[in-house]
């Protein structure tokens, strides 16, 4: 098992398949100027890392990016992964076309990012058009059985923070689990300030203004705290990554598209697996590297502590 020096057992691997994206969400990517990774792992290399990680105790794999649906060999990657829980996070563009094939290849469920239901705001937030395609993608994912469909929303003060109840009403009508994620300092320079985070507490206050809000179960290692509204319908999640960090329960590891293993979203260190993957190193040697990275994991992300410095990579490069 992949256990770190604080006794946390690692069971969840986030795998970024590309750092590229056709959108440019303001909290994630700069409008231009990002250098794309030059040497991403092949489908076979990615599948090998996952296989070894599963052998060592990983039970949940989430494919992400950048935009994972842009990978031409995505179905091949999905088909090669054998893990109890295989999911994918997408911006939803192109999902309508791919949902059925992804399900057939073995994908179990998707998380789709929807920050707004208004086309003009979608354009402001992502610097591109495409809301209709995203919403079609949500419908297609449900029809294809990629269940439960979860929807991620990042609220930005003065941009979409007045849409909490509209998004909740839409999610209830669509029967999807909506999760509000606090804005984290992982985007382009200057895009984040602590004062501008729409906090989990603020979101809960808005929910309580319109619904009777009751907790659903225990959070355990899952980042989202789940709430039931008026006693029925899909749960609504609130992910307080910044204001109430859940690092003490963290069970996640990350693999970047260019083959670097990271113990935390906010790590400033990462280990390049490509030299091992491209030599005649054995699976045991690869496993030893996974254990070493887990062993090096710090106690927490430290956002808010004096001396905190965000990593030099954006969320799209690390894999959200
Ligand atoms: N392109 C896909 C998507 O947008 O769902 C997958 C990759 S994206 C980096 C994964 C998730 O990270 C998305 O839900 C996105 O909203 C979230 N994200 C990106 N930058 C973020 C930030 N600075 N703070 C919080 N969440 C962020
Ligand atoms: Fe692309 Fe996802 Fe980042 Fe938006 S959040 S720019 S969709 S990778």
Counting from 1 in the atom list of ligand 2, the atom nearest the Cα of 314 is 3
Q: Where are the domains of the chain?
A: 2-318
Residue 65 CA to ligand 2 center (angstroms) comes to 8
Q: Which ligand is nearest to the CA of 187?
A: 1
**Which residue's CA is the nearest one to ligand 2's atom 8?**
66
Name the residue at shortest CA distance from atom 7 of ligand 2. Answer: 91
pLDDT score at 50: 98
Comparing CA positions, the residue from 266, 249, 248, 269 lying closest to residue 308 is 266
Decide whether any atom of ligand 1 lies within 6 Å of the 316 Cβ: yes
CB 270 near ligand 2, within 6 Å: no
107-126 mean pLDDT: 97
**CATH class assigned to 2-318:** alpha beta
pLDDT of residue 303: 78
* Predicted local distance difference test score (pLDDT) of residue 34: 84
pLDDT in tens, 42-90: 999 999 999 999 999 999 999 999 999 999 999 999 999 999 999 999 9
Residue 149 has pLDDT above 80, yes or no: yes
Give the position, in ligand 1's atom list, of the atom nearest the Cα of 185.
23
Task: For residue 126, report the distance from its CA to the centre of ligand 1, in Å.
Answer: 11
Ligand 1 near 264 CB (within 6 A): no
- Please work out whether the CB of residue 152 comes within 6 Å of at least one atom of ligand 1: yes
CA-CA distance, 263 to 10, in Å (whole number)? 10
Whether the pLDDT of residue 306 is over 80: the answer is: no
Determine the Cα–Cα distance for residues 108 and 85; give it in Å rounded to an integer. Answer: 7
pTM: 0.95
């Amino acid at each position: 098992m992949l256990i770190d020096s604080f006794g946390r057992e690692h069971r969840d691997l986030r795998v970024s398949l590309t750092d590229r994206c056709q959108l440019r969400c303001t909290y994630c990517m700069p409008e231009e100027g990002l250098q794309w990774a030059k040497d991403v792992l092949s489908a076979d290399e990615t599948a090998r890392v996952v296989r070894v990680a599963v052998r060592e105790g990983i039970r949940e794999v989430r494919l992400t990016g950048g935009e994972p649906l842009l990978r031409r060999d995505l179905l091949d990657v999905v088909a090669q992964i054998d893990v109890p829980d295989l999911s994918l996070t997408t911006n939803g563009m192109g999902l309508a076309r791919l949902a059925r094939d992804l399900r057939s290849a073995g994908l179990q469920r998707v998380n789709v990012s929807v920050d707004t239901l208004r086309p003009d705001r979608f354009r402001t937030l992502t610097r591109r058009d495409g809301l209709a395609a995203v919403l079609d993608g949500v419908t297609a994912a449900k029809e294809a059985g990629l269940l439960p469909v979860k929807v991620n929303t990042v609220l930005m003060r003065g941009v979409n923070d007045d849409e909490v109840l509209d998004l909740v009403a839409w999610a209830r009508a669509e029967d999807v689990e909506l999760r509000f994620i606090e804005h984290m300092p992982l985007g382009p320079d200057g895009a984040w300030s602590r004062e501008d985070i729409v906090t989990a507490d603020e979101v809960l206050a808005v929910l309580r203004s319109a619904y009777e809000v009751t907790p659903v179960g225990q959070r355990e290692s899952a980042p989202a705290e789940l709430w039931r509204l008026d006693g029925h319908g899909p749960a609504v999640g609130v992910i307080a990554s910044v204001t109430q960090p859940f690092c003490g329960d963290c069970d996640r590891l990350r693999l970047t598209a260019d083959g670097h293993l990271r113990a935390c979203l906010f790590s400033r260190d990462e280990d390049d697996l490509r030299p091992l993957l491209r030599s005649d190193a054995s699976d045991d040697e690869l496993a030893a590297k996974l254990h070493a990275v887990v062993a090096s994991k710090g106690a927490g992300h430290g956002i808010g502590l004096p001396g905190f410095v965000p990593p030099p990579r954006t969320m799209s490069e690390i894999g959200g």
